[in-house]
Amino acid sequence: MGDGSLTWLRDHNRHRVLEALRLQGRSSQADIARATGLSRTTISSLIAELKDAGLVSDVEATANHGRGGRPGVQLVLRDRSRVVVGIDFGHSHVGVAVADLNHNVLAEHLHEMDVNRHAGQALDAATRMFGEVIAEAHVDRAGVIGAGIGIPGPVDRAHGMAGSATILPGWVGLRIASEMEQRLSVPVQIENDANLGALAELTWGAGRDCSNFAYIKAATGIGAGIVVDGRLLRGATGTAGEIGHTTLDEAGALCYCGNRGCLETVAAGPAIVHLVGPVNGASLSLAQIVDHAVAGDPRCRRAVSDAGREIGVAVAGLCNLINPERVIVGGLLSRTGEVLLQPLRESIRRHAVQAAAESVEICAAVFVERAELLGSVALALLRDRVNHSSLASV
């Protein structure tokens, strides 16, 4: 091997160490060794070079970031000039956050509005808030290396638009990715809300040490983000994880998707609200039902736990198919903790094949309210890790 190849190899390995820091955020040398497969000796010498070049520095490990409870020194990138932006379009809000390459959120804004019906205004609001958060974080517009965008419905990644006319009617035909790319002048990626929840948990939450898991978002709708071998499973047209539209009862109630007896018709927010019915003449919102269930109200607890049991039937099928290490349950309903999880676990035990049911751990998500916003930040940070190369340009 000549000197040229050795230089190339060293440059290549330096690049891998920097990439590992960008993907993982602050890390120990051992974490970097695991992520890159390079020897500890090679990493020590590369880190020394990168420190001399001012690209990497030491920080004290904090309780939140120290893995395996070991205190000690960790490494961070010193590149403060480059950032990513996450944009979350919910049904009734727009959230925008900016984060540095060490995974620190520098600024975030939230704006309540009717996103479903006013797609154009939602894009305008996101564009304005993009300017606001980068100004607040004191970063240059030219330093934004990418943006991740979340929408609350299936995504047609080939065209960068909403993938279902029945789920997001106001967004039909709108090419969200190219529209936002033009407005922001940065590369943009788009993803659905359950996949973003999975990415947030994979990056910072309950899926951090796990490369095969299913994230279930149980809220107004029910969706799943499926991570296989550390990557999101998107399927042929991006609808992988639409677990809310699994048929549980062929003769059941008509679902807004056009089928009958879907999981959502018995366990999603509107079904729970309907089941609880009016209390003192007024209908409760899903958030109020969750609060009452947490406070011990028997009607609300029963409605949520019945939903947990039904969700478990569909998740049992998912466990049979993908044999996950963990099922991470997020969304508003997960705030009820064991009220939802205990019957969900019981259903999986009853309905999944024994080996899959025994090996899977069912736990609550770390992120509930900010899951999608943090997931959209993670989407921009992890773009190479979560994307298959043929889709990377979307």
Binding site for Zn ion (CB under 5 A): 245, 255, 257, 259, 262
C-alpha to C-alpha distance for 271 and 253, rounded to whole angstroms: 10
Are 176 and 163 in contact by the 8 Å Cβ rule? The answer is: no
Closer residue to Zn ion, CB minimum distance, 101 or 248: 248
C-alpha to C-alpha distance for 176 and 126, rounded to whole angstroms: 12
Handedness of CA 185, 98, 218, 314 (dihedral sign): positive
Q: How far is the CB of 273 from Zn ion (least distance, A)?
A: 17
Q: How far is the CB of 61 from Zn ion (least distance, A)?
A: 46
Q: How far is the CB of 384 from Zn ion (least distance, A)?
A: 34
C-alpha to C-alpha distance for 80 and 138, rounded to whole angstroms: 10
Closer residue to Zn ion, CB minimum distance, 23 or 272: 272
Q: How far is the CB of 290 from Zn ion (least distance, A)?
A: 22
Closer residue to Zn ion, CB minimum distance, 145 or 219: 219
Q: How far is the CB of 326 from Zn ion (least distance, A)?
A: 26
Q: How far is the CB of 4 from Zn ion (least distance, A)?
A: 59
Q: Which of 8, 1, 11, 5 is nearest to 49 (CA)?
A: 11
Closer residue to Zn ion, CB minimum distance, 234 or 245: 245
Burial state string for 181-197 with b = 16 or more CB within 10 A and e = fewer than 16: beebebbbbbbbbbbbb
Closer residue to Zn ion, CB minimum distance, 29 or 259: 259
Q: Which of 62, 368, 23, 39 is nearest to 219 (CA)?
A: 368
Closer residue to Zn ion, CB minimum distance, 13 or 259: 259
Beta-carbon contacts of 373 under 8 Å, excluding residues fewer than 6 positions away, are 86, 88, 95, 96, 97, 108, 150
Are 208 and 34 in contact by the 8 Å Cβ rule? The answer is: no
